[in-house]
Amino acid sequence: MAEDEADGTPAIPDEETPAGIPVPRTAGGARRPARRALLAATAAAGVGLLAACGDTGSRADPAPGAEPPRGTGRASPAPSGTGPAPGKTARPGRKYPELPRGGRELFPRHRLVGFCGLPGAAALGRLGTGDPGERADEIEKRARAYAGDREALPVLELLAVVATAAPGPDGRYRSRTPDATIRRFHRIAAGHRALLLLNIQPGRARVLDEVEALRPWLLRPDVGLALDPEWEMGPGEVPGDRFGRTSGRELTGVADYLSRLVAAHDLPEKPLVFHQVAASVLRQESALRRRPGVALIKSADGIGSPDLKRATWRRLVGNLPAGVHTGFKLFYEEDAEGSSRLMTPDEVLALRPRPEYVMYE
C-alpha cells in the first residue's frame, strides 16, 4: 500500500472502479469492498434521501425531565435496576435504568452481536436492506449462535454521521442522519430489547462535536456509540482518497465525555466501539485509557478469507491496552468473494481473545 511521504498514512491505491472511484485495500493487501469505495459518493448524493426524509433540525439537549426536542423522540420505558452509576452511592429504594436485557454492566454477562448500515443504502451494510424490523428479527436469531457461555445482546449499529465526498454547506465532508431516522431505529431496537449504536464517520468534523450533537440520544440507557476513524480526515483530506485516523488520546476524550453522562444521569454502562481497518488508523494506542461506566471495544475491521481475517485479528489485537474489549467484523459479500467463505460462529468464537462484539456488514 502506498504511504503519504509526510505522515505515513496509507493512501488508497490508484486502482479504480468503472465509475472512477478508488478502491481501498486492507493492510493485508486484500481489496476493500465496493461498498466502502462508493460510500462517499453515495452519501454525497443525499444521505437525507437515503435515510428516509425526516426532521434534520438541531439536536438540542433537553432539560432534565423535559420532553425531548422535536426530532429526538422519547425512549421506551427502560427496565429498572438497583445499582447507581460508577462512583455514586446507591439511594435506598431507588431503581436505576438497566441495559435492554438486564444488568448495569455489559461484560462479562453479555456478548453483543449486530448489523450495521443505513436505510435505503444496501451498499453500506445489512441494516440498510429490506425492512428494518425484519433485520432486527434476523439479528436476534443470529445472536443466539454466539451466546456461548454468555447472554446474547442484539445490536443495531446505525450510521448516524456519514462521510461524504462533497464538503457540504459547512465544509465538514459529512452528513448527519435525520433525527426521524434515528428515532425510528431506536423504537425498533427498544421493541426487540436491543442496543442501538450510533456510528460516526466524521469526515473533517471534530469527533467530539459530533458526539455532543447526539447527546439527547446518548442519555438513553439503550444507546451507545461507535466510531469509524478510517473516515476521520485531516485538513485538506477528502473521504475516499485515503484512510483517516484517530489517536488513543482522542478516544480517551470521547470516553471521558460518555463517562460524565453516565455518572450525571445514573445510566448503565455505555459501549464505545472503535472500528480499526489498519494499524495506521489508530495512533498512540498506548494513550487509550479506561473510564468509569464506559466499555471500550476495539473492533477488527478486515476483509478476506478466514485465514486472512485471523491474521488481521492477531495483528490488531495482539497488544491491547488493559481493559479494552474486542470486536470482530464480518462482511456477508466481500468475505465470501471468489473461493473464500464467511467465517462460522464457531470459528469466530475460537479466536483469542474471544470477541465480545461481533458485527455483520
Phi-psi region of 271 (alpha: psi -120 to 50; beta: other; left: phi over 0): beta
Q: What angle do CA 293, 227, 52 make, to 5 degrees?
A: 110
The reported pLDDT for the residue numbered 52 is: 38
Return the pLDDT at 92: 65
| CA nearest neighbour of 273 among 246, 299, 291, 254 | 299
Question: In this predicted structure, what is the pLDDT of residue 120?
Answer: 83
- Cα 19 vs. chain centroid, distance in angstroms? 28
R_g of the chain, CA atoms, integer Å: 19
43: left (phi over 0), alpha (psi -120 to 50) or beta: alpha
Q: What is the pLDDT of residue 68?
A: 40
Distance CA 339, CA 355 (A): 25
Say what the pLDDT of residue 91 is.
65
The set of residues, in sequence order, having a beta carbon less than 8 Å from that of 78 and lying 6+ positions away, is 97, 98, 220, 221, 222
- For residues 113 and 360, give the distance between their C-alpha atoms in angstroms, rounded to a whole number: 8
- Residue ranges, the chain, pLDDT below 70: 1-93
DSSP state of 169: T
Helix pair angle (179-191, 132-144), 10° resolution: 40
What DSSP state is assigned to residue 90?
A: P
What per-residue confidence (pLDDT) applies to 215? Answer: 98
Q: What is the pLDDT of residue 117?
A: 94
The pLDDT value recorded for residue 319 is 87
Could you tell me the pTM of the whole model?
0.81
Determine the number of helices (DSSP H) and then strands (DSSP E) in the chain. Answer: 9, 13
Average pLDDT, the chain: 82
Question: Which residue, among 330, 248, 329, has the nearest Cα to 291 in the 3D structure?
Answer: 248
Residue type, 64: P
Give every CB contact of residue 155 below 8 A, 6+ residues apart in sequence.
112, 113, 114, 115, 139, 194, 195, 196, 197, 357, 359
